[in-house]
Amino acid sequence: MSTKMTIDGNTAASHVAYAFSEVAAIYPITPSSPMAEVADEWSAQGRVNMFDQKLRLAEMESEGGAAGAVHGSLTAGALTTTYTASQGLLLMIPNMYKIAGELLPTVFHVSARALAAHALNIFGDHSDVMACRQTGFAMLASNSVQEVMDLALVAHLSTLKAKVPFLHFFDGFRTSHEVSKIDVIDYDEMKTLVDMNDIEEFRKRALNPEHPVQRGTAQNADIYFQNRETANKYYNATPAIVQEMMDKVSKLTGRSYHLFDYVGAKDAENVIVLMGSGADAVEETINKMNSEGHRVGLLKVRLYRPFSIEHFTEALPKTVKKLAVLDRTKEPGSLGEPLYLDVCAALLEKGMTDIKVVGGRYGLGSKEFNPSMVYAVYKNLESKEPKNHFTVGIYDDLTNTSLDFSEQYNAAPAGTISCKFWGLGSDGTVGANKNSIKIIGDHTDKYVQGYFFYDSKKSGGITVSHLRFGDTKIQSAYLIDAADFVQCSNPSYITRYDMTGDLKEGGSFLLNTSALTVEQLEHVLPAKVKNDIANKHIHFYVIDAIDIAAGLGLKGRTNTILQSAFFKIANIIPYTDAVEFMKKMAYKSFSKKGDAVVQMNYDAIDSASANLVKIDVPESWKTTTEGAEMVKVSGTEYFLNTVAPIIAQKGDKLPSSKFSPDGTVPTGTTQYEKRGVAVLVPKWNAEKCIQCNQCSFVCPHACIRPAVVKSDAEKPASFETKAMIGNKGYDFRIQVSPLDCMGCGVCANICPAKEKALEMVPLGSVVEEETVNYDYSEKLEKVDVSNVPGCKATTVKGSQFRQPLFEFSGACAGCGETPYVKVITQMFGDRMIVANATGCSSIYGGSAPTCPYTVNKEGHGPAWANSLFEDNAEFGYGINLAYAQRRSKLADVITKLAEEATEQTVKDAANAWLENRNDAEGSKAASAKLVALIENCKGNCPLSDLTNEIIKNKDCLVKKSIWIFGG
Ligand code: SF4
Ligand code: SF4
Ligand code: SF4
């Protein structure tokens, strides 16, 4: 019997894979990791597969290793699976050829993700799976969480029968992480569909010394080719087998599937062809368009490999005149993207050349694909000369590929309730929303959908939860752009992001704030927010969840209070029921922590109703131009024109021309972010301070620094200092950057002064004066204190007087890694190159839009690059090889200069560089001297060939410090 459950796509895939697998060899990679995690958890809990055995899960050293282990396990006759994505899948390709070549049945479940090209992107598109289309794996696409459940089953059944291995894929994040209420098929039902003879046949082919064979031989030109062709009949048979299995699953579930499923007008002339989650957005759009008199359709590709021309052409309506084939991948330099080329070839082979075909790219790296974009594709098809090789969803002002999608097209069916929640990473908002969606999904007949957007900070960044509830199936596989309810969990967001712009007329807005009256709100809300609230007749609620949480001992954990307030306002289920369900969830989550913690959460749930304030919105808000100022940012032109819009969540609107084609970005941009997310920041007490600089040393974010200032310098009034130990005539101060501080408290904890010289105080109490003080201290001329007793640069204290060339990164508050990165840049940053593996350090160190690596006043600082996850040692080694070789050539030129120069000063300078070239400080001094002497060497100088060569390569003169950082 199937059961309704509210789960995500990864769990749905893993549920089926678990049933059919005896072994899983894995290596975790986003966004596929949860498939392995839940399988591991189920195995640990004793869950058994279809054969009454627990899954044996082995985590390997890499995806290449995982694929090798899968190959081995299959060779020895165990039903085996794996789960992966992106470059991880690409590492499996060599073994995929082997597995397919040996006709070993398996299913790889892939949450399809973009590939790292000009930049890493962990989000969804089909670049990874499309890179596998030549391996011999059959490829089956699921478009929604329900389809993941159903088609995963089709894939497992089909591979056993066909002997062709399957790659079952669905869109990373959009489907893998979307929470939806679906029918879960239980294992007993699945078992009824399995032909046990298929399994027996597979096992008979296992390597076994009792009936030995040899597999994987080396063949020569005489036989390899014809042997390779023997697999054809298996591929020819596969489409029919897949359809047979789809029919079986349809019979069981009542949900019908075909290799290609057509939906839309029976007499459609304009049809979109695509696969993946975009299909739901297209289907929703065509339902609306056809109700308005258009005749449009959609062909969903489910079995992409083997591509069945017969099934494809049969599925198209006879009336079709134009096709737009949409690929969620980019194949630079090709005639077109893969699905487009397949469709062109299919129609050509069938002689259906009267159908006009255009191809387009959409949704790369989870770029939004919504009804307005779908509408633009149909408009393009309807035009006399449809644009070919187009893009949709971006503004390409360089090669003008993009379609205009500025016409808003809302296709969401009436009756769906859309809710958006703005939270701060790690503040519990996302967790609470997952909880809410389960409550509504599990306790009502409503369809539910939850999608969670995160920015690229490790924590402390923005999260936006998109929740939909409806009485009909929800196909809106895109972000909410017209909300019935919006919640803002973080008071500081109100002046940073436009949260009321997409609220519907008559919607509800819940703000977490200490301003609970109209009078207080006058100063807190920007004019634009007031205008929106009044003009759109928004029901406006406020609650001081921070204060309530503090009173309950919940230490800033406001999520439960806000969740309860949401249920009270949104009224999707009776509030009393919601309270009961929330309490049950709280008991489940916290009972292990004791009754007191459970009670605290019960109190938080109960507190919301009594503390929720509905604001009587004044008429004056309709037109007011007064209110809190939106945060103004300063910075370089690049920061203001490119980074700032991205930070303001308006990156989607930036045109292609704003970006460099190779993905290179300027460094030193986190300094302009001024996130202001700390609740408490350290305040320095000069009297108690013993000037040890330990606070600065441990700060993960380089937000607290020692300042050295002339005792008689003019300083801001609040810039308190004390005489610097051992450095007469200079004063010392510990300065905090309040708007960059993450409030982790690590500095105050470490402070070894007898009475702590740092006290954590509310940000608001110090932000103004400390911002002035920080700006002043940053402009101070750096004083070289390396000869002051106890201040040698190689000591904890002395190192902190050097400028950190890594600052304000997106690492978690209190991160233990980043202080090391920071101190390395204080030692070597001005001549440093970093080869960074993929992982935490590449995310906090290299996530767009800002860069924490920065420069000194000469403009020198770390140069940073990331290649892949697994090749970083080699990548760094390559950088080292290049500099060794380039500097060796330079040494040859300088040796020649030393020999041929007639001026003794030039000879001496060249020799000095040759002697010091492998010494950091020595090479700096020698390089400066040499460059100064030869830079003005004119063209008629007999040695100008040599000097020009040296000047051309002068950026190689100083010894480089090359670092390989783990991920
Ligand atoms: S509270 Fe944390 S982030 Fe802020 S200055 Fe101290 S150590 Fe740095
Ligand atoms: S750790 Fe404490 S004593 Fe040491 S410099 Fe910082 S504030 Fe002063
Ligand atoms: S290493 Fe740092 S950034 Fe990464 S998870 Fe740990 S605390 Fe967060």
Question: In terms of DSSP bridges, do strands 758-762 and 680-684 run parallel, antiparallel, or are they unpaired?
Answer: antiparallel
Q: How far is the CA of 693 from the centre of ligand 3 (A)?
A: 23
Compute the average pLDDT of residues 116-120. 96
Q: How far is the CA of 84 from the centre of ligand 1 (A)?
A: 37
Best of 454, 840, 847 to mutate for ligand 3, by most ligand atoms within 8 A of CB?
840
Q: What is the pLDDT of residue 936?
A: 78
Residue ranges lining ligand 3, Cβ < 6 Å: 458, 811-812, 815, 817, 840, 844
Which atom number of ligand 2 is nearest to the Cα of residue 753?
3
Q: How far is the CA of 813 from the centre of ligand 3 (A)?
A: 8
Q: How far is the CA of 687 from the centre of ligand 1 (A)?
A: 20
CATH 3.40.920.10 fits domain 417-622 = yes
Q: Is 812 in the pocket of ligand 1 (CB under 6 A)?
A: no
| Helix, strand, coil shares, percent, the chain, to 5 | 40, 15, 40
Best of 698, 844, 847, 965 to mutate for ligand 3, by most ligand atoms within 8 A of CB?
844
Place of tokens 């633009």: 376
Q: How far is the CA of 768 from the centre of ligand 1 (A)?
A: 17
Best of 674, 677, 679, 704 to mutate for ligand 1, by most ligand atoms within 8 A of CB?
704
Task: Report whether pLDDT(219) > 70.
Answer: yes
Q: Is 704 in the pocket of ligand 1 (CB under 6 A)?
A: yes
Q: How far is the CA of 699 from the centre of ligand 3 (A)?
A: 14
Task: Parse the chain into domains and list their residue ranges.
Answer: 3-209+223-252, 260-392, 417-622, 670-870, 874-965
Q: What is the pLDDT of residue 474?
A: 93
Q: How far is the CA of 823 from the centre of ligand 3 (A)?
A: 17
Q: Is 694 in the pocket of ligand 2 (CB under 6 A)?
A: yes
Give CA–CA dist 414/239, Å, rounded. Answer: 38
Give CA–CA dist 29/83, Å, rounded. Answer: 9
Task: Report whether pLDDT(319) > 90.
Answer: yes
Instruction: Name the residue with the closest Cα to ligand 2, atom 1.
Output: 751
- Topology, domain 3-209+223-252: Rossmann fold (3.40.50)
Q: Is 690 in the pocket of ligand 2 (CB under 6 A)?
A: yes
Q: What is the pLDDT of residue 939?
A: 63
Tokens of 796: 């904890």
Which atom number of ligand 2 is nearest to the Cα of residue 688?
3
Cα–Cα distance list, 869 to 121, 664, 804 (Å): 13, 19, 26
Instruction: Name the residue with the closest Cα to ligand 2, atom 2.
Output: 751
Instruction: Name the residue with the closest Cα to ligand 3, atom 4.
Output: 840
Compute the average pLDDT of residues 200-226. 97
Best of 694, 699, 844 to mutate for ligand 1, by most ligand atoms within 8 A of CB?
699
Which atom number of ligand 3 is nearest to the Cα of residue 843?
3
Ligand nearest to the CA of 754: 2
Compute the average pLDDT of residues 926-955. 90
Q: Is 734 in the pocket of ligand 2 (CB under 6 A)?
A: yes
Helix 145-162 to helix 9-20 angle, to the nearest 10 degrees? 30
- Topology, domain 670-870: Alpha-Beta Plaits (3.30.70)
Dihedrals phi, psi of 534, to nearest 5 degrees: -75, -45
Instruction: Name the residue with the closest Cα to ligand 1, atom 4.
Output: 741
Cα-Cα-Cα-Cα dihedral sign, residues 790, 794, 799, 803: positive
What 3-state DSSP class applies to 958? coil
Print the SS3 string covering 623-666.
CCCCCCCCCCCCCCHHHHHHHHHHHCCCHHHCEHHHCCCCCCCC
Q: What is the pLDDT of residue 188?
A: 96
Query: pLDDT band for position 266 (50/70/90)?
Result: very high
Q: Is 698 in the pocket of ligand 2 (CB under 6 A)?
A: no
Q: Is 259 in the pocket of ligand 1 (CB under 6 A)?
A: no
* pLDDT tens figures, 605-656: 999 999 999 999 999 999 999 999 987 889 999 999 999 999 999 999 999 9
Which atom number of ligand 2 is nearest to the Cα of residue 706?
5
Ligand nearest to the CA of 740: 1
Compute the average pLDDT of residues 112-130. 97
* pLDDT tens figures, 656-715: 999 999 999 999 999 999 988 888 999 999 999 999 999 999 999 999 999 999 999 999
Q: How far is the CA of 259 from the centre of ligand 3 (A)?
A: 44
Ligand nearest to the CA of 734: 2
Q: Is 534 in the pocket of ligand 2 (CB under 6 A)?
A: no
Q: Is 747 in the pocket of ligand 1 (CB under 6 A)?
A: yes
Q: How far is the CA of 820 from the centre of ligand 3 (A)?
A: 12
Instruction: Name the residue with the closest Cα to ligand 2, atom 6.
Output: 695
Q: Nearest to residue 498, comparing CAs of 428, 412, 433, 422? A: 422
Best of 673, 681, 760, 809 to mutate for ligand 1, by most ligand atoms within 8 A of CB?
681
* pLDDT tens figures, 536-563: 999 999 999 999 999 999 877 899 999 9
Ligand nearest to the CA of 425: 3
Query: pLDDT band for position 938 (50/70/90)?
Result: low
Task: Report whether pLDDT(798) > 90.
Answer: yes
Q: What is the pLDDT of residue 425?
A: 83
Which atom number of ligand 3 is nearest to the Cα of residue 459?
8
Compute the average pLDDT of residues 1-10. 88
* pLDDT tens figures, 845-897: 999 999 999 999 999 999 999 999 889 999 999 999 999 999 999 999 999 99
Q: 516-534 burial by CB neighbour count: b if 16+ within 10 A, else e?
A: bebeebbebbbbbbbbbbb
Q: What is the pLDDT of residue 1?
A: 56
Task: Report whether pLDDT(263) > 60.
Answer: yes
Contacts of 96 by beta carbon, 8 Å cutoff, 6+ apart: 67, 108, 132, 135, 136, 137, 165, 167
pLDDT over 70 percentage in the chain: 99
Give CA–CA dist 30/321, Å, rounded. Answer: 40
* pLDDT tens figures, 487-531: 999 888 999 999 999 999 999 999 999 999 999 999 999 999 999
Q: How far is the CA of 675 from the centre of ligand 1 (A)?
A: 13
Give CA–CA dist 722/379, Å, rounded. Answer: 71
Q: In what order do the strands lie in the sheet with 296-301?
A: 260-264, 296-301, 270-274, 322-327, 356-362, 390-392
- Topology, domain 260-392: Rossmann fold (3.40.50)
Q: What is the pLDDT of residue 937?
A: 76
In sequence order, what E strands does 23-161 have?
Answer: 23-26, 56-59, 80-84, 107-112, 138-141
Which atom number of ligand 1 is nearest to the Cα of residue 737?
5
Give CA–CA dist 269/400, Å, rounded. Answer: 26
Q: Is 309 in the pocket of ligand 1 (CB under 6 A)?
A: no
Q: How far is the CA of 814 from the centre of ligand 2 (A)?
A: 17
User: What is the average pLDDT value for the chain, to the nearest integer?
Assistant: 96
Q: Does 3-209+223-252 match 260-392 in CATH topology?
A: yes
Q: How far is the CA of 593 from the centre of ligand 3 (A)?
A: 25
Q: Tally Cβ neighbours within 10 Å of residue 345.
A: 12
Best of 677, 744, 767, 815 to mutate for ligand 1, by most ligand atoms within 8 A of CB?
744
Ligand nearest to the CA of 681: 1
Specify whether the CB–CB gap between 826 and 802 falls below 8 A: yes
